[in-house]
């Protein structure tokens, strides 16, 4: 059974990363290139692909919501790498922040295409490549909201909970094949995520939806907070996630789960210790304080 090329051994290991227009994906592409990885970053907008190419990357268009772009990007990458792919970092995702009762079903469906079904389509196509190699790393960018639920994040939380179960199952099914599956669970990270979430609120709820909603006052407070850049005592830069990604990719013994930020670690413990009723109180209070 072959294994991943060792760091510094000369043979660059290859990785496909999604969602590299900003944030964690952009940071991962840059930092991994600096560690002698052959990085194939992808983005869903042609202008972001062009920008990545201008930075010297072998970048391709991949939009999880546009299924045809998935085999197209993977095919081009495999052609360049001689059919080998050492790692996949599923990362591109977004939130539509609003109460579930205000969430249009179409918004939820589209979010699941981006945050879940597209990840499955890509992963299914990568697994046979890694099976042939007898080695590979699949790293899934989950979230603290992959194991705790909070108000007004229902769509996103549902997609990340689904991803957690999916990734645990995949890890079991690939056990012993040389393919490792890891989940990264970041808490608040300083990226374009909040700005993108706000844009999605305006897209799906809008002024009209806000004014008609029983949650109007809470939305107004939250929007103001988001517009002001959503300060967070525990917010970390994207490099904190990449540090754990590097462990998941390069360690001979990658962990099944990486918990990034203090809130993620605290919530892991509270979820184990508290009853559902007690945890609800903590999470409702925390969400109310955010407003």
Ligand X SMILES: NC(=O)c1ccc[n+]([C@@H]2O[C@H](COP(=O)([O-])OP(=O)(O)OC[C@H]3O[C@@H](n4cnc5c(N)ncnc54)[C@H](OP(=O)(O)O)[C@@H]3O)[C@@H](O)[C@H]2O)c1
In this structure, what DSSP letter does residue 98 have? Answer: B
- Segments of the chain assigned E as strands: 13-17, 37-43, 60-61, 87-90, 136-141, 179-186, 257-260
- Give the x/- contact pattern for ligand X in 29-58, rule: CB under 6 A: --------------xxx-------------
Q: Report which of 242, 259, 119 is spatially closest to residue 186, judged by C-alpha positions.
A: 259
Smallest distance from ligand X to CB 92, Å:
2
- Give the x/- contact pattern for ligand X in 111-150, rule: CB under 6 A: ---x---x----------------------x-x-------
64 belongs to the binding site for ligand X (CB under 6 A)? yes
17 belongs to the binding site for ligand X (CB under 6 A)? no
Closest CB to ligand X among residues 120, 131? 120
Q: Is 156 a catalytic residue?
A: yes
By CB under 6 A, the count of residues binding ligand X is: 29
Strands across the sheet with 257-260, in order?
60-61, 37-43, 13-17, 87-90, 136-141, 179-186, 257-260
Catalytic residue among 64, 94, 152, 156: 156
Q: Please, what sign has the CA dihedral across residues 120, 121, 126, 129? A: positive
The only residue of 37, 89, 94, 112 in contact with ligand X, by rule CB under 6 A? 94
Torsion of CA 65, 67, 70, 73, to 10 degrees: -90
Smallest distance from ligand X to CB 248, Å:
14
Closest CB to ligand X among residues 131, 247? 247
268 belongs to the binding site for ligand X (CB under 6 A)? no
The only residue of 22, 36, 121, 268 in contact with ligand X, by rule CB under 6 A? 22
The only residue of 65, 168, 250, 290 in contact with ligand X, by rule CB under 6 A? 65
Closest CB to ligand X among residues 136, 188? 188
Bridge partners of 16, per DSSP, are: 40, 88
The only residue of 24, 122, 158, 240 in contact with ligand X, by rule CB under 6 A? 24
Closest CB to ligand X among residues 230, 291? 230
For ligand X, the binding residues in 157-176 under the rule CB under 6 A are none
Q: How far apart are the first and last CA of the chain?
A: 53
Smallest distance from ligand X to CB 146, Å:
8
Secondary structure (3-state) at 213: coil
Closest CB to ligand X among residues 135, 267? 267
Which residue is at the shortest CB distance from ligand X? Answer: 23
Quote the CA–CA distance of 30 and 39 in Å, as a whole number.
8
* 118-133 and 69-81 helices, crossing angle to 10°: 20
- Output the CA–CA distances (angstroms, integers) from residue 126 to 16, 182, 214, 250, in the order listed: 10, 15, 45, 18
Instruction: Tell me the DSSP string of 226-283.
Output: HHTT---TT-B-THHHHHHHHHHHH-SS--SEEEESHHHHHHHHHHHHS-HHHHHHHH
User: Could you tell me if 62 and 43 are in contact, meaning their C-beta atoms sit under 8 angstroms apart?
Assistant: yes
For ligand X, the binding residues in 167-226 under the rule CB under 6 A are 186, 188-189, 191-193, 196
Residues in the site for ligand X, rule: CB under 6 A?
A: 18-25, 43-45, 63-65, 91-94, 114, 118, 141, 143, 186, 188-189, 191-193, 196
Q: Which residues are catalytic?
A: 156
């Amino acid at each position: 059974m072959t294994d991943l090329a060792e760091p510094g051994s000369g043979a660059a290991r290859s990785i496909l990363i999604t969602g590299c227009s900003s944030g964690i994906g952009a940071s991962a592409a840059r930092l991994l290139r600096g560690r002698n990885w052959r990085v194939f970053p992808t983005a869903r907008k042609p202008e972001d692909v062009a920008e990545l190419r201008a930075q010297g990357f072998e970048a391709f268009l991949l939009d999880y919501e546009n299924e045809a772009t998935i085999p197209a990007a993977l095919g081009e990458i495999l052609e360049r790498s001689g059919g080998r792919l050492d790692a996949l970092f599923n990362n591109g995702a977004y939130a539509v922040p609003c109460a579930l009762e205000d969430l249009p079903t179409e918004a939820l469906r589209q979010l699941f295409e981006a945050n879940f079904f597209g990840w499955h389509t890509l992963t299914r196509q990568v697994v046979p490549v890694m099976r042939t190699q007898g080695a590979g790393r699949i790293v899934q960018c989950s979230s603290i909201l992959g194991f705790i639920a909070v108000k007004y994040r229902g769509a996103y939380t549902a997609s990340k909970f689904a991803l957690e179960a999916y990734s645990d199952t995949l890890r079991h099914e690939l056990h012993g094949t040389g393919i490792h599956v890891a989940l990264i669970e970041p808490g608040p990270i300083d990226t374009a995520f909040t700005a993108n979430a706000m844009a999605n609120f305006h897209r799906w709820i809008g002024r009209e939806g806000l004014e008609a909603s029983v949650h109007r006052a809470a939305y107004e407070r939250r929007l103001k907070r988001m517009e002001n850049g959503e300060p967070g005592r525990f917010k970390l830069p994207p490099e904190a996630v990449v540090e754990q990604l590097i462990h998941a990719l390069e360690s001979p013994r990658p962990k099944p789960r990486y918990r990034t930020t203090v809130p993620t670690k605290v919530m892991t413990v509270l979820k184990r210790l508290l009853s559902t009723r007690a945890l609800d109180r903590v999470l409702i209070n925390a969400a109310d304080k955010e407003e």
